[in-house]
Amino acid sequence: MAKFVIEPGAVIDGFTLGECVHRGGMATLWSVTRDDIADAMLMKIPRVSEGEDPAAIVSFEMEQMILPKLTGIHVPQCYGTGDFARQAYVVIERIPGKTLYARLDELPLPYEEARLIALKIADALSDLHRQNVIHHDIKPSSIMFRASGEAVLIDFGLSHHNQLPDLLQEEFRVPYGTAPYTAPERLLGVRDDPRSDLFSLGVLLYFFTTGVRPFGESETMAGMRRRLWRDPYPPRQLRKDYPPWLQEIVLRCLEIEPAWRYPTASQLAFELAHPDQVKLTARSERLKRDPLTTVWRRRFNGNLVQPRRPAAVAAQLAASPIVAVAIDVTEGSDELNGALRTAAERILKTSPLARLACLNVLKLGRVTIDRTLDEEGNNKHVGRLVTLRHWATPLKLDESRLTVHVLEAVDAAGAILEFVNANHVDHIVIGAGQNSLVRTLLGSTSAKVASEAPCSVTVVRLPRQGPSSSPRQEPPGDDRSMPAI
């Protein structure tokens, strides 16, 4: 079968080629149009001539398999693919603007700007990992932003899909990727751990806030392998004003052992969204790298990073959920709050890597001027934060797994739902209100949350009869049905 001539005006499977917008080492990018699609599009065509790297062809095959399966705002839409028998290509949405690579001349960025960029990337990774995909090439040139602000991940040729054959793993034994951003476990052949992407994001955040890459520019295998035993200089050694909370996040992402990093991209995003609640450890105070005795022990004992097969991506995410509990602090709510604590404890026992967010809504008047102090002159917001921590004390959670949040809003249910959506909450526990004429007419907060939340919901209600009866709960899970409230 005759091959297509790749030039402006050529038609491939209904797509008409326009200008060539980029010529890379492994592929070319062309603007394309099709009569039945109004969106701006790009066609990516691999280089397959004599002497081209065979890994480039395999990575293109991976991209052809993965892109059509991806959905959502954090990835480019895929409009079509072509096989190598006729003409290999993928057609994707053309996202206006430049990649994050264009910002390199501005480094280091202000800390707050870098935090917001990393937060958007972590949100995108969270969405990608939930689709069973690990990117494996997170770097500035693989990240774009929509006009609405969301990060978009591009270039999936090195990615791993948990439910598809990993052709790169099957056909090659050397780790492919961008050396400065490659996670240590990748050098040992591990490709199915989503925490590798968190390491790469940690490298990017370190680079964007210090102007220096944590592991230098080395492209040699020997240079890359040093990160199996050698940690980077703490950012505070490079910049005296570096915030301790930011160093805590960056160095946790850059831990050599994946188990010491954040369990999920969602939990990393949660930390970036709430820097004032980051639990500071010895990481945040470090001014020097690990001593040579520690480095030599890692290097010659060889027992810190071992190639092991982690659980499937979905299983890892399920083992590390973000659980939110909506707590009422008004008088007479002690019994219901006790039942909420019991329900939360049961959930946390089954997920030892879960983190808990305790919520309370400080309701604001629609037309009245709200007072910030209570009748005794104490700040209402601060008082409720203290009450939430007191509620959580019996759970005996490590501080790194607990945050408390007072949401000020007119609509309690709306505030809870907004928090759930913004923070990738996987499971919410909420108490059912007592029956009243107002709730009968207008509906309750718990009913609205249960019907509209994008995650699992457990609704806890007190028994109507007898103090010895056990609180009723809706079972955890995706079924959000509940009794009338």
Q: Is the Cβ–Cβ distance between 63 and 110 less than 8 Å?
A: no
- Quote the pLDDT of residue 153: 98
The set of residues, in sequence order, having a beta carbon less than 8 Å from that of 203 and lying 6+ positions away, is 180, 181, 213, 214, 215, 253, 254
Residue among 358, 329, 352, 318 at smallest CA distance from 476: 318
Name the band, by pLDDT with cuts 50, 70 and 90, for residue 310. Answer: low
Which position has the token pair 């939340």? 453
Check pLDDT > 60 for residue 200.
yes
At 172 the pLDDT is: 63
Predicted pLDDT of residue 442: 43
List 428's β-bridge partners, or say none. 324, 457
CB 76 within 8 Å of CB 64: no
What is the pLDDT at residue 3? Answer: 65
Give the lowest-confidence range in 77-86, 242-251, 467-476. Answer: 467-476
Task: For helices 244-253 and 265-273, give the axis angle rounded to 10 degrees.
Answer: 170
Measured between alpha carbons, how far is residue 13 from residues 33, 313, 363 in Å?
11, 35, 58
d(CA 276, CA 272): 9
pLDDT score at 304: 47
Find all residues with CB under 8 Å of 338, minimum gap 6, and list them: none
| Cis status of the peptide bond prior to 108, with omega within 30 of 0 | yes
Which of the residue ranges 2-11, 53-62, 64-73, 364-373 would you say has the lowest mean pLDDT? 364-373
CA-atom Rg of the chain in angstroms: 26
- Contact criterion met (CB below 8 Å) for 157 and 147: no
Contacts of 55 (CB under 8 A, 6+ apart): 168, 172, 176
The 10s digit of each residue's pLDDT in 147-188 is 999 999 999 999 999 888 888 776 665 567 889 999 999 988
Instruction: Report pLDDT digits (tens) over 65-99.
Output: 999 999 999 999 999 999 888 889 999 999 999 99
Q: Are 11-93 and 100-316 in the same CATH fold? A: no
Instruction: Specify which of 271-285, 318-332, 353-367, 447-461 reaches the highest per-range mean pLDDT.
Output: 271-285
User: Which alpha helices (DSSP H) does 144-194 contain, by range?
Assistant: 167-171
- Fold adopted by 321-473: Rossmann fold (3.40.50)
Given a cut of 70, is residue 470 above it in pLDDT?
A: no
310 conformational bin, left if phi > 0, alpha if psi -120 to 50, beta if neither: beta
* Edge-to-edge order in the sheet of strand 322-326: 402-409, 355-363, 322-326, 427-431, 456-461, 472-473
- Nearest CA-CA partner of 185 in 172, 198, 170: 198
**Position 130 pLDDT exceeds 60:** yes
DSSP output for 311-366:
PPHHHHHHTS-EEEEE---STT-HHHHHHHHHHHHHHHHH-TT-EEEEEEEEEPPS
**Does position 131 have pLDDT exceeding 70, yes or no?**
yes
Check residue 81 and give its pLDDT.
94
**What confidence tens digit (pLDDT) does each residue in 364-379 have?**
866 555 566 655 666 7
Given this model, what pLDDT does residue 435 score?
57
Q: Which helix (H) or strand (E) holds 145?
A: strand 143-145
Residue 377's pLDDT is 62
pLDDT in tens, 384-403: 889 999 999 999 998 889 99
pLDDT number for residue 477: 44
pLDDT at 106: 97
Question: What is residue 217's predicted lDDT score, i.e. its pLDDT?
Answer: 78
388, 358 Cβ separation under 8 angstroms: yes
How is residue 369 annotated by DSSP?
Answer: P
Which CATH architecture fits 11-93? 2-Layer Sandwich (3.30)
Q: Hey, which of 173-177, 220-224, 352-356, 474-478 has the most confident mean pLDDT?
A: 352-356
Nearest to 76 by CA among 98, 96, 95: 95
Beta bridge partners of 33: 16
Q: Greatest CA separation found in the chain?
A: 86
pLDDT score at 189: 86
How many beta carbons lie within 10 A of that of residue 289, not counting itself?
14
Q: Which residue has the higher pLDDT, 255 or 441?
A: 255
pTM for the whole structure: 0.87
Q: What is the pLDDT of residue 410?
A: 87
How many angstroms separate the Cα of 41 from the Cα of each of 10, 15, 175? 15, 10, 31
Topology of domain 100-316, CATH: Transferase(Phosphotransferase); domain 1 (1.10.510)
Predicted pLDDT of residue 168: 76
State the Cα–Cα distance between residues 473 and 451, nearest whole angstrom.
16
Name the band, by pLDDT with cuts 50, 70 and 90, for residue 52: low
**Range from 343-357, 413-427, 451-465 carrying the lowest mean pLDDT:** 451-465
Domain boundaries, the chain: 11-93, 100-316, 321-473
Between strands 322-326 and 427-431, the pairing is parallel
Specify the DSSP class assigned to residue 371.
P
Contacts of 177 (CB under 8 A, 6+ apart): 136, 137, 158, 186
pLDDT band at 485 (very low <50, low <70, confident <90, very high): very low
Lowest mean pLDDT of 147-151, 167-171, 329-333, 423-427, name the range: 167-171
**Which residues contact residue 471 at a Cβ distance below 8 angstroms, ignoring those fewer than 6 apart?**
336, 339, 342, 343, 460, 461, 462, 463
pLDDT at 478: 43
- Whether residue 479 is predicted with pLDDT greater than 60 in this model: the reply is no
Average pLDDT over every residue of 21-43? 92
The percent of residues in the chain predicted with pLDDT above 70, rounded, is 85
**More confident: 295 or 18:** 18
Give the mean model confidence (pLDDT) for residues 246-262.
Answer: 96
* Measured CA distances, 101 to 114, 121, 208 (Å): 14, 14, 11
- With CA atoms as reference, report the closest residue to 412 among 433, 393, 426: 433
Provide mean pLDDT across the span 238-252.
98
Mean pLDDT for the chain overall? 86
